[in-house]
Structure 1
Amino acid sequence: PPVDRGKPYIKRVIGLPGERLSIHDGAVYINGQRLEEPYLHGVSTSWAGTLGQQEITIPDGQVYVLGDNRANSSDSRAFGPIAIDQIIGRAWIAYWPGDDIGILSTPSYPR
């Protein structure tokens, strides 16, 4: 992220290359389908960013990332998609909120 390029950030990859992404009233839509985000239960998703109601197509070689603290996150809504080669690792443990402490499962996606 451009705020401090030397500092690692933890963000959630939301959109992949070629996908159409939009955000309406705090909900994320991928290719016109609302993204179910159970990990945001009880978290405010309101944000006064620049994406607004517009739709973007994520360029080849890039991904769209969002922070789970949506109301206060510096993420792709502010600086746009990031290059895939900027990703240096993946989260493997959750420690907040306390009820959710544990090892994260590796997601699988249909091709």
Structure 2
Amino acid sequence: VKRIIALPGEHVAIRNGAVYINGQRLIEPYLSEPTLWRGMTLDHEYVVEPGHVFVMGDNRNNSSDSRVFGAVPLSSIVGKAWVTYWPPDEVQVLTTPAYAFQ
């Protein structure tokens, strides 16, 4: 399961452990640690090509995602996560986050 971070045509960069979309820092309170670029320079900027999205896992520093395999074709998106069931004492229905920029 991955989170869609950027849409077609948007510019993605990771600087000092933070994700930037079109030059604006993405506020991500659901993350517990800074984000690394995974093999690319921290100042590298990626432009999402038409018909694709840039995805990242919430366990950022242990996730194979668009930082590794590139943007994902929109046709490959098959569903939406709507519930977490692990750990059992934290089962919850997910809400769509209100993304904000700093």
Indicate whether the TM-score tops 0.5: yes
Distance 1:34 1:48, change over 3 A: same
Q: After the TM superposition, which residues 1-40 of structure 1 pair with which residues of structure 2 at under 5 Å, given as runs?
A: 10-40=1-31
* Structure 1 residues 68-100: Cα deviation after superposition (integer angstroms, max 9, x where no partner): 111111000011111011111010012356675
Contact 2:11/2:47 (CA < 8 Å) preserved in 1?
yes
Displacement of 1:48 in angstroms is 3.7
Higher relative contact order, chain-length normalized (CA < 8 Å, sep 6+) = 2
- Give unpaired runs (5+ residues) of structure 1: 1-9
Q: After the TM superposition, which residues 40-79 of structure 1 pair with which residues of structure 2 at under 5 Å, given as runs?
A: 40=31, 42-46=32-36, 48-50=38-40, 52-79=42-69
Aligned structure 1 segments of 4 or more residues deviating by more than 4 angstroms: 96-100
TM-score, normalised via structure 1 length: 0.76
Aligned to 2:72: 82
Higher strand residue share: 2
Aligned to 1:6: none
CA distance in 2, matches of 1:47, 1:56: 11
Q: How many residues align?
A: 99
Contact 1:95/1:101 (CA < 8 Å) preserved in 2?
yes
Displacement of 1:55 in angstroms is 1.0
Percentage of pairs with the same residue: 54
Partner-residue secondary structure (3-state), 2:55 = strand
Displacement of 1:44 in angstroms is 4.8
TM-score, normalised via structure 2 length: 0.82
